Amino acid sequence: MHLFKLCFSDFVKLVTSNNNNNSMLASVTCTAPVNIATIKYWGKRDENLILPLNSSLSGTLHQDDLKTTTTAVASESFEEDALWLNGKKEDVNSVRYQNVLKTIRSRATKLMDKKHFVHICSINNFPTAAGLASSASGYACLVYVLAQLYGVEGDVSSIARLGSGSACRSMFGGFVKWEMGTKADGSDSIAVQVAPESHWPDMNIIVLVVNDKKKETSSTDGMQRSAQTSAMMKERCATTVPERMVTIERAIQEHDFQTFGDITMKDSDDFHEVCATTDPPIYYLNDTSRYIMNLIHRYNKLAGSVRCAYTFDAGPNACIYLPQESVAEVLSLFLKHFPAGEGVQNYYRGTDEVFAKVNDYQ
């Protein structure tokens, strides 16, 4: 198990760029962080344009923690587009890559004179496809890098959405909502920043990597099956999520962690209940995930308030939202239950002051 202490910072970031209209070879490198949804996106109304059945909301993590780094090079001498993910060649002809590439090229203001193919190299510094939002940081980074390379102006979150729905939220820092929109062409299905990273600097996230293996059911397949078969989907999309979006946005504006944490845990629970009521059922959580959930509920109950809140995406790994004042105590709780040396690796990056407090609690 790994513990990361994360905080909010900037969104996608340009690292290097050598890009002008006349150059034979243009290159851009960017990094993009993952985002962790507190109101989950699950289900599409349009599979090709990736238009969701419900709005969603997330926090974008720190660049230096869970991130994707992508370099794209365009050259007249390349004979085809090509893409490598973590050193392995990917099929660049997949619908999603093609949708992204075509849209970028249709909005290009650079590299338009001749046919430039592009070679893309992307690396995650964390487990890929293990329910840690790797497709979010991956496509956010890919789209940003291509937008820089081809000189695409204006909002590009809708292009990131074409790669992976949750990726549109990684185009902004802080708290970000993805408005589901209602138009058939998806032009109003965009990411909007609810509050910048500076709004709630006190907010932290701890990620507990329970299992870093690739998940059996991808989010894409899982949500399609849920939309078709889970009886819970209708009410979730019609009432539950719209109400929660309003309440959690208000909680963020008011720094109300009680409400924020309560809704975050409820939405995670409901999302996994939707999965369990899918035919055939999908189970992303394991015994360790449930142990963590139970631990957090017991801890909050003893404290008499919501001191920390879990959320689980399509995998067993836990993301814990918590205010700074709870960090030392909650970390010491996890270290006690999952001690170092017993399969636990601690990647927590905190201040010396927090570490001193963790030791006090041990």
Residues sharing a CB contact under 8 Å with residue 359, sequence separation 6 or more, in sequence order:
none
Please state the closest distance from residue 221 (CB atom) to ligand DP6, in A. 8
Closer Cβ to ligand DP6, 136 or 308, answer by number: 136
- 223 or 322: whose CB is closer to ligand DP6? 223
Q: Site for ligand DP6 (CB under 6 A): which residue of 68, 164, 189, 230?
A: 164
Instruction: In angstroms, give the least distance from the CB of 110 to ligand DP6.
Output: 28
Binding to ligand DP6 (CB under 6 A) within 40-69 occurs at 40-41, 50, 56
Residue nearest to ligand DP6 (CB): 165
Site residues (CB under 6 A) for ligand DP6, limited to 106-145: 133, 135
CB of 314 to ligand DP6, least distance (A): 4
Q: How many residues bind ligand DP6 (CB under 6 A)?
A: 14
**3-state SS, one letter per residue, for the chain:** CEEEEECCCCCCEEEEEECCCCCCEEEEEEEEECEEEEECCCCEEECCCCEECCCEEEEECCCCCCEEEEEEEEECCCCCCEEEECCEEECCCCHHHHHHHHHHHHCCCCCCCCCCEEEEEEEECCCCCCCCCHHHHHHHHHHHHHHHHHCCCCCCHHHHHHHCHHHHHHHCCCEEEECCCCCCCCCCCCEEEEECCCCCCCEEEEEECCCCCCCCCCHHHHHHHHHHHCCCHHHHHHHHHHHHHHHHHHHHHCCCHHHHHHHHHHHHHHHHHHHHCCCCCCCCCCHHHHHHHHHHHHHHHHHCCCCCEEEECCCCCEEEEEEHHHHHHHHHHHHHHCCECCCEEECCCCCHHHHHHHHHHC
- Residue span binding ligand DP6 (CB under 6 A) among the ranges 11-19, 69-77, 118-126, 161-169: 161-169
Please, what is the angle between helix 257-276 and helix 287-303, to 10°? 150
The single residue among 83, 313, 318, 323 that binds ligand DP6, judged by CB under 6 A, is: 313
Least distance (Å) from ligand DP6 to the CB of residue 79?
A: 29
Q: Which one, 56 or 69, has the nearer CB to ligand DP6?
A: 56
Span of 73-81, 164-172, 191-199, 327-335 interacting with ligand DP6 by CB under 6 A: 164-172
Binding string to ligand DP6 for residues 217 to 256, with x set by CB under 6 A, is what? --xx------------------------------------
Is 212:129 a contact under the CB 8 Å cutoff? no
Cis peptide before 201 (omega within 30 of 0): no
Closer residue to ligand DP6, CB minimum distance, 60 or 219: 219
What is the smallest separation between the CB atom of 300 and ligand DP6, expressed in angstroms? 23
Name which of 149, 112, 151 is nearest 28 in CA terms: 149
Choice between 185 and 221, CB closer to ligand DP6: 221
Smallest gap from residue 18 Cβ to ligand DP6 (A): 31
Among 147-155, 160-168, 194-202, 352-360, the segment contacting ligand DP6 (CB under 6 A): 160-168
Q: In the stretch 18-37, what mask flags binding to ligand DP6 with x, by CB under 6 A?
A: -------------------x
Task: Identify which of residues 316 and 350 has a Cβ nearer to ligand DP6 in the complex.
Answer: 316
Give me the residues paired with residue 322 across strands. 204
Enumerate residues 165-224 that contact ligand DP6 by CB under 6 A.
Answer: 165-166, 219-220
Give the shortest CB-164-to-ligand DP6 separation in angstroms.
Answer: 3
Degrees to nearest 5, angle at CA 203 with 200 and 57 = 80
Residues that bind ligand DP6 (CB under 6 A): 37, 40-41, 50, 56, 133, 135, 164-166, 219-220, 313-314
